[in-house]
Amino acid sequence: MKKYSYFISALMVSALLLTSCGNQNGNGGSNSALASNNAEKVYVAPGEQDEFYAFMSGGYSGNITVYGLPSGRLFKEIPVFSQFPTSGYGYSEETKPMLNTSFGFVPWDDAHHPDISQTNGELDGRWIFINGNNTPRIARVSLSTFETEEIIELPNSAGNHSSSFITENTEYVVAGTRFSVPVPQRDMPINEYKGNFKGALSFISIAPDTGRLNLDFQMMMPGFNYDLSHPGRGKSHGWFFFTTYNTEEANSLMEVNSSQNDKDFIAAVNWKMIAEYVKNGGGTKMATEYAHNVYDEHTHSATSTMKKEVITVDPTKVPGAVFFLPTPKSPHGCDVDPSGQYIIGNGKLSADLTIHSFDKMIAAIEGKKFDGEAYGIPILKFEDVLAGTVKSGGLGPLHTEFDDKGNAYTTFFISSEVVKWKLGTWEVLDRQPTFYSVGHLMIPGGNSRKPFGKYVVAMNKITKDRYLPTGPEMEHSAQLYDISGDKMELIYDFPTHGEPHYAAGIPAELLAPKSKKIYRLDDNKHPFAVTSPDQAKVVREGKEVHVYMSTIRSHFTPDNIEGIKVGDKVYFHITNHEQDFDVPHGFAMIGQNTSELLIMPGQTKTSLWEPKKVGVWPFYCTDFCSALHQEMQGYVRVSPADSDVPLTYTLGE
């Protein structure tokens, strides 16, 4: 215990020393100035476009941010798990169901690991998936509309961290629980954790044409912490690999008690074998409850369905499907190289980097070279699966990505650096500092069989003096390195929103041509859509009033409404009649207790307004759309609750 405490103290001192250096005065000096050739590398001239899209997790923002590379320009924030007043996501009547869960309406989450759909192990740019870590969920985002289309909740899970990584033909998106819990949940003493808690690994199938998600089965693993994961690819396709820590099954003072073992495990799961087992009737149906929320692009509306059961699988009932690979020490990242041969365990409390061999793993399984078992799952002998070790890599290895030249790049949190090393020889080729305390990194396509090895983006946890100060909290720093040559070269810094935990990059040429520009008005199937201005109307149904409204540059139809009463619920169903790219219209009503709406061309959205005061109240367009934008407004007359003012609506009278 004392030795461990001294080790942790030394790491903390190192981190403080590393993160307190640099320019503290906010003055740009020669040390921070980009060389002119680096400026040229990241410069994207006015009217020109970036070479890559970078989709960054927003961490505690709950969303995804979209940047261009190499410019570092922010293009968009895609709302996923969090309400987003900019567009009305999670506020509009159509999108509120997207945030429904078995716990009720949850308007926030901690978004971590985006992953782009693949075909034959190569990025295809159809969808991007991301996990909600806090209230366990997986989301699917369309990469033609950049809108969240589906969110599925994961029962029996907690801290959905080893997610949301996909198999190489997008058969499954896979999610593992960081926190093991009682399954089923029940009232029990926390100190009875050991042997009684379970770690659920969820396998969500993906419909190949629509992307529709289905929770196919959950594996009930021993009660360890399942930290990160990645799929096998190429020769290892059909397997999935998960890092574990807390194999001690501690439940208190975790920074000490869950780090006692010299080695934890990487769990190797043959998902094809288990999927076949389930298909043939294997597994146990378990009563549970979880929400499945789906957005329909044609009705522009979401529905939420509460599911009532899930198939669970005991791994000991499927011999040959699950094995443990011993890995030092408290491994965090679990990464698989483009060939599928090497499985990298980034042991965050180890100075070395451990690389396992898939071929050796299969040989060890076939030769039954076991070193005992844990809860009935065979443990393979460390030396029989070890491919090699990267020595003197750095302190605190976390994550590894790959280029297209047989090189790997690993982040080291404590020593604040990215280290380049050679697959197969394990030789360190280069190292470059980061500023400061790097976590994840991303190479476009670096989590696929076809990486695009031109840039690596380091996502740092601490910013300090990299930008002008903005009070006690700074946006996190991303740093762009040119990796096209033998040596890495830091060429750019740019701030990121939220706390990016991972990112996914893709060449713009694969994605930009597919981007939708408008929603066709004649395809609008929203039940309250107004496809021509003469369909506009206002209808009272008891205390509910439905306003069927159209909008086009530069007026609303209707624009004057009378006969609304205090205590009514007024639903503004607004259809944007524009059929031109990048001409949204906004809508805001004074005293609205939700948010504004931003309505895309051809789209219908609904805002609920509950007037509380008598008066004449204005509404207006919030998005500057024309030279007469300021004139795009209207009024609603609100009368007392017992008023007999008739319901009327007009335009141009």
Closest Cα partner for 115 from 450, 502, 458, 504? 504
Bond before 144 cis per omega within 30 degrees: no
Q: Residues 554-578: pLDDT tens digits?
A: 999 999 999 999 999 999 999 999 9
What is the rounded distance in angstroms from the CA atom of residue 518 to the CA atom of residue 525? 15
What is the rounded distance in angstroms from the CA atom of residue 53 to the CA atom of residue 314? 40
Bond before 416 cis per omega within 30 degrees: no
Structure tokens at 536: 């506009």
Strand partners, 652: none
Quick one: which H or E segment has residue 40? Answer: helix 36-42
CATH class belonging to 521-650:
mainly beta
Is there a contact between 277 and 363 (Cβ–Cβ < 8 Å)? no
pTM for the structure as a whole: 0.94
What is the rounded distance in angstroms from the CA atom of residue 15 to the CA atom of residue 437? 8
Closest Cα partner for 506 from 9, 44, 60, 52? 52
Same-fold call for 2-19+60-514 versus 521-650:
no
Output the furthest CA–CA distance in the chain (Å, rounded). Answer: 87
- What are the residue ranges in the chain where pLDDT is below 70? 1-35
What is the domain partition of the chain in residue ranges? 2-19+60-514, 521-650
Q: Residues 612-631: pLDDT tens digits?
A: 999 999 999 999 999 999 99
Give the pLDDT of residue 25. 38
Sheet containing 633-639: order of strands: 597-599, 585-589, 615-620, 633-639, 560-565, 648-650
Give the pLDDT of residue 35. 62
Is there a contact between 139 and 115 (Cβ–Cβ < 8 Å)? no
The percent helix, strand, coil of the chain (3-state, each to 5) is 15, 45, 45
Query: Which superfamily does CATH assign the domain made up of 2-19+60-514 to?
Result: YVTN repeat-like/Quinoprotein amine dehydrogenase (2.130.10.10)
